[in-house]
Homo-oligomer: A and B are copies of this chain.
Amino acid sequence: MSNSTGTIFTLTTFGESHGAAIGGIVDGMPAGIEIDERFVQQELNRRRPGQSAITTSRNEPDKVEFLSGIFEGKSTGCPIGFVVYNQNQHSQDYENMRCLFRPSHADFTYHEKYGIRDHRGGGRTSARITISRCVAGALAKLVLRQIGVEIHAYTMQVGNVGIGKDYQKYDLSLSETNAVRCPDLQKAAEMEQLIKEVKSEGDTIGGIIQCVVKGCPVGLGSPEFDKLHAVLGKAMLSINAVKGFEYGDGFDCICARGSEQNDVFYKDADGSVRTRTNHSGGIQGGLSNGQDIVFRVAFKPVATLLREQDTIDMEGNPTVLKAKGRHDPCVLPRAVPIVEAMAAMVILDEYLKNRSVR
């Protein structure tokens, strides 16, 4: 069931870019939660194409319809089926891709694995299928709200333009006020400029999204193979175009000594145990420790270029690929809500699992 994720709060998805619909089933939604469908749609809108000059010009309404599991506005504990019908597809834009393998896409590997593939718009491997994740993530957020957990993801770096890891100096809500979703408005403008330049060259660019989870209870996560950061890492690495994941000090931890890295405990005035620093990124021994959970996700430049590229066809003959269609020059602005959605699902799932440990 590789198209399912989660243990208690679970999502199973279906759909291709140019098929009839994208959708999924959320199983394990706690009962009695008010389902604010407007909020869910808003969350989904955050990943919608056509939002600005730096995202694809496709204009997909992407309206979610709930088919089950909700009765008189509340979750019933039964599975929530939902569907987003595809529209505004230009399948003919992809006819030339039926018989060739696009570089650094999944065409070749899917062809080898399955012997058949839907070549239109990347089929099942299109980032469009993250629609289902946004819907499920929004449902998870509705529950997390009730226990005081907040999740903020934002664009921390695009190419060589970045704002560093220190999020404390920013009002993170500002990230939703600009097209790149960066809380530093000055840097956001620079990032936007960079993306426009890259786009004008028919090229693409990558970057880093940082995510901060506030208010997470102590003790979420599970020992051994399902450590909280391992499950978060898998969730993030499953997002299209992701190449790396780190939490806390991440790869930079190798530059410091243990004596510099260790987070010293103290008892707060309110009686709770805290750490003076947060090199651990809110996770120790695979369990949340009550500090902010902080992690970063690296996205590669989009593989689809609006310029010619050498490649081969299915017989192995050299050919030249000229992408048509409407594509993002940089995936990050639209990936921010997806990072949040995956984080929300993971945190809720671990929260629900944690109810059974004693």
Contacts and interface: CB of A to CB of B under 8 A. Distances in A.
Contacts of A312: 265-267, 273
A243 to B, nearest CB: 5
Contacts of A206: 253-254, 256, 261
A109 B27 CA distance: 19
A350 to B, nearest CB: 10
Contacts of A318: 266
A358 interface: yes
B284 A78 contact: no
A258 B8 CA distance: 36
B30 A356 contact: yes
A57 B95 CA distance: 48
A125 B285 contact: yes
Interface in A278-321: 279-281, 284-289, 298-305, 307, 309-312, 316-318
Contacts of A317: 267
A299 to B, nearest CB: 8
Nearest to A219: B113
Interface stretch (A163-171, A181-189, A229-237): A229-237
A333 to B, nearest CB: 15
Interface in A133-167: 157-160
Interface stretch (A15-23, A38-46, A48-56): A15-23
A238 to B, nearest CB: 4
A289 to B, nearest CB: 5
A353 interface: yes
B280 A104 contact: yes
Given A1-B10, A113-B219, A223-B3, A305 B246 contact: no
A172 interface: no
Top 8 closest pairs, chain A to chain B, by CB = A106-B285, A244-B246, A14-B81, A2-B222, A267-B316, A113-B219, A204-B258, A258-B301
Given A110-B287, A225-B235, A259-B309, 9 more contacts: A3-B78, A12-B27, A31-B358, A104-B279, A114-B358, A230-B233, A246-B298, A261-B301, A356-B356
Interface of A: 1-8, 10, 12-16, 19-25, 27-28, 30-32, 65-69, 71, 74-81, 83, 101, 103-110, 112-118, 123-125, 129, 157-160, 198, 201, 203-208, 218-219, 221-227, 229-231, 233-235, 237-238, 243-251, 253-259, 261-267, 271, 273, 275, 279-281, 284-289, 298-305, 307, 309-312, 316-318, 352-358
